[in-house]
């Protein structure tokens, strides 16, 4: 089973600053990694898939990078609506199952 | 509009049963794998189960094997999760999600999009 580890658990950032979130896989997942944003009381929302492709309607300030076992989600200039919890996710081809990281909370500094 | 709407959550005693439903609209339901994902209060996301387009393959996280059953009715555009022998640790918001795929430079990217709004299951005496 592939284990996904996110760091840090909590990131304190001032509005307008850059935020860098990390996700590490216990073995290579190629570029098959997705990122989700979740705000309190809401369902998760897809931000990035294929490690670096933004989902429809996602602002350009969100970018993803990485491949293999090391991945990064960057928010270039934090807006008030970006304070949330972010999860990375990978998919096992066989058996076809899914694994999430434990999440990174981005909070206002 | 692509939409998933869950229902069926509620309060149930330990050892009890509950059946969750997810109504899909705005897309060809029968063309997609579907999943259930849960989130315990204050915790992260945990994938629970998924089902192939025609229902012929089903997979579960170890902690629910033998207790939960995922199913679907393509004629009704609906996904279900039958939960038996419920435990306190099953308390969570349960989301249904469409497994989406896109062909990219490295191969097929897989991700959940969209998600339903979730339904809360509370297991307590």
Pairwise CB contact (< 8 Å): B106 & A91: no
Using a CB-CB cut-off of 8 Å, the residues of chain B touching A36 are 45, 112
Please tell me the distance in Å from B114's CA to the nearest CA on chain A.
Answer: 8
CB atoms within 10 A of CB B53: 16
- CA–CA separation, A21 and A11 (whole Å): 8
Pairwise CB contact (< 8 Å): A98 & B50: yes
Please tell me the distance in Å from B124's CA to the nearest CA on chain A.
Answer: 21
Give the pLDDT confidence of A41-97 residue by residue, as tens digits.
999 999 999 999 999 999 999 999 999 999 999 999 999 999 999 999 999 888 888
Phi-psi region of A29 (alpha: psi -120 to 50; beta: other; left: phi over 0): alpha
Which of B100, B111, B115, B118 is the best residue to mutate to test the A interface, defined by the most A CB atoms within 10 Å of its own CB?
B111
Task: Find the residue in B nearest to A95 (Cα).
Answer: B59
Q: How far lies A80's CA from each of A39, A44, A52, A58, A103, in Å?
A: 12, 17, 23, 15, 19
DSSP assignment of A11-50: EEE-TTS-EEEEEEESS--TT-EEEEEE-TTS--EEEEET
Residue A102: exposure state from Cβ atoms within 10 A (0-12, 13-18, ≥19): middle
Bridge partners of A53, per DSSP, are A49
Q: Is the pLDDT of residue A1 over 90?
A: no
Mean pLDDT of A19-30: 96
Mean pLDDT of A23-37: 96
């Amino acid at each position: 089973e592939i284990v996904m580890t996110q760091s840090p658990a909590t990131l304190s950032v001032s509005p307008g600053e850059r935020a860098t979130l990390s996700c590490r896989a216990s073995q290579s997942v190629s570029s098959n990694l997705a990122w989700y944003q979740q705000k309190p009381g809401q369902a998760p929302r897809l931000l990035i898939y294929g490690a670096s492709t933004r989902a429809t309607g996602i602002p350009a300030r969100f970018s993803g990078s990485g491949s293999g076992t090391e991945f990064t989600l960057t928010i270039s200039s934090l807006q008030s609506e970006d304070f949330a919890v972010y999860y990375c996710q990978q998919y096992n081809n066989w058996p076809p199952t899914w694994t999430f990281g434990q999440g990174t909370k981005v909070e206002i500094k | 509009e692509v939409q998933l709407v869950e229902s069926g959550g509620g309060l149930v005693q330990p050892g009890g049963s509950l059946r969750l439903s997810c109504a899909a609209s705005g897309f060809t339901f029968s063309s997609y794998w579907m999943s259930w994902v849960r989130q315990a209060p204050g915790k992260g996301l945990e994938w629970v189960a998924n089902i192939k387009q025609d229902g012929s393959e089903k997979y579960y996280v170890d902690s629910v094997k033998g207790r939960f059953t995922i199913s679907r009715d393509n004629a009704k555009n609906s996904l279900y999760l039958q939960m038996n022998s419920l435990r306190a640790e099953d308390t969570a918001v349960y989301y249904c999600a469409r497994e989406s795929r896109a062909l990219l430079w490295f191969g097929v990217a897989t991700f959940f999009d969209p998600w339903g709004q979730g339904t809360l299951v509370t297991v307590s005496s």
